Amino acid sequence: MTDSVAETLAPDTWTVAGRTFTSRLIVGTGKYKDFAQNAAAVAASGAEIVTVAVRRVNVSDPKAPMLTDFIDPKKITYLPNTAGCFTADDAIRTLRLAREAGGWDLVKLEVLGEARTLYPDMRETLKATEILAKEGFAPMVYCVDDPIAAKQLEECGAVAVMPLGAPIGSGLGIQNKVTIRLIVEGAKVPVLVDAGVGTASEAAVAMELGCDGVLMNTAIAEARDPIRMARAMKLAVTAGRDAYLAGRMQIRRYADPSSPLAGLI
Amino acid sequence: MADELLLTVNGEPRRVAPGSSIADLVTGLGLDPAKVAVERNAEIAPRSTLADVILADGDVLEIVHFVGGG
């Protein structure tokens, strides 16, 4: 086998907080019709990591089915998140409980600024990142697509920065390719687009910008056929990653013919 | 009735017998202590201590687990 063929076929893994993964697609577990559909979508997506929320147990119906019955935390890495938290204190409390419930220290931090846009509150997010890192957590942090904010998070101990492509659940796609690319160029930790991806091509765009991965929930859960969309996303992330590693052609202003000019009849 | 402790569990009032531990409360609710995490008065109650921590009148508890989320 030649060197270049071997290189193309070598597994393209990524590492976060010392943990190595093959799939570059992380999926959420919200908004599904039921746990069974959720589990089928996760399987179709090839995701090795799923985000989960920490919520009060329904004490009036303690025997209700649980997510862990359908998606095995021993086979898939659970990434507890702080969805619904609007202050650093709430986010920190939630993650401490998550760690107590399952021993996870690789976590997703999000601290929201307002309900309408679900945009991150960067001041609270930075504060929480620093405290969590000191307590031994490995926070992957949802943030704005601002290269300075991303650097600051890294300095505070974020093990991955996760800029939004567009507001959570909007499906508006990557709105600012320029800043996502700048974040990728400046980061020493993995960069994943988290939020706003709506369809397969948008996931591919994120990967072509050089991102290490993509995190999504609504794009799959709210597709007409979630299982099929999960598969599409798996292919899109792989395609985008291959295109990025292949090194795309240069853009030209005008045409450049593909067939030889000599020998025309 | 006067001897019972009045707690707040997940935002709702709940009465338990004096001398109950957190583990007693959790199993009394039909929950598996291995599948939940408990916070008592805003502090994590480590799972290994659930059977040893005795509840007091007025305690505020949060019992949580993982659900689907983005």
Q: In the numeric block, which tokens belong to residue A262? A: 């000599």
Q: Which long-range contacts (CB under 8 A, 24 or more apart) does A115-120 make?
A: A117/A167, A118/A167, A118/A168, A118/A169, A118/A195, A119/A144, A119/A164, A119/A167, A120/A144, A120/A164
**Rounded to the nearest 5°, which phi and psi values hold at A21?**
-130, 155
Find chain A residues with C-beta within 8 A of B7's C-beta: none
Please write the tens of the pLDDT for every residue from A213-234: 999 999 999 999 999 999 999 9
Please write the tens of the pLDDT for every residue from A9-33: 678 999 999 999 999 999 999 999 9
Give pLDDT, residue B35. 83
> What is the pTM (predicted TM-score) of this model?
0.91
Find chain B residues with C-beta within 8 A of A28's C-beta: 68-70
Residue ranges of chain B whose CB lies within 8 Å of a chain A CB: 9-12, 29-31, 35-39, 42, 44-47, 62-70
User: What is the C-alpha end-to-end distance of chain B, expressed in Å?
Assistant: 44
Helix (H) or strand (E) holding B15: strand B12-16
Please write the tens of the pLDDT for every residue from A126-182: 999 999 999 999 999 999 999 999 999 999 999 999 999 999 999 999 999 999 999
- The yes-or-no answer on residue A234 being catalytic is no
Q: In the numeric block, which tokens belong to residue A44? A: 């179709």
Cα separation values, B8 from A97, B11, B24, B41, B43, Å: 18, 6, 15, 10, 14
Find chain B residues with C-beta within 8 A of A31's C-beta: 68, 70
Calculate the CA dihedral of residues A135, A86, A98, A32 and round it to 10 degrees. Answer: -150
Please state the rounded mean pLDDT for residues A239-247. 98
Instruction: Answer yes or no: are the C-beta atoms of A10 and A198 closer than 8 Å.
Output: no
Residue type, A126: L
Give pLDDT, residue A7. 60
Please write the tens of the pLDDT for every residue from A195-216: 999 999 999 999 999 999 999 9
**Catalytic residue chosen out of the listed positions A33, A74, A108, A151:** A108
List the single best residue of A45, A50, A100, A170 to mutate versus B (max B Cβ within 10 A).
A100
Q: What is the ipTM of this complex?
A: 0.84
Q: How close B61 gets to chain A, by Cα (Å)?
A: 10
Helix intervals (H) in chain B: 22-28
B7 pLDDT above the threshold of 80: yes
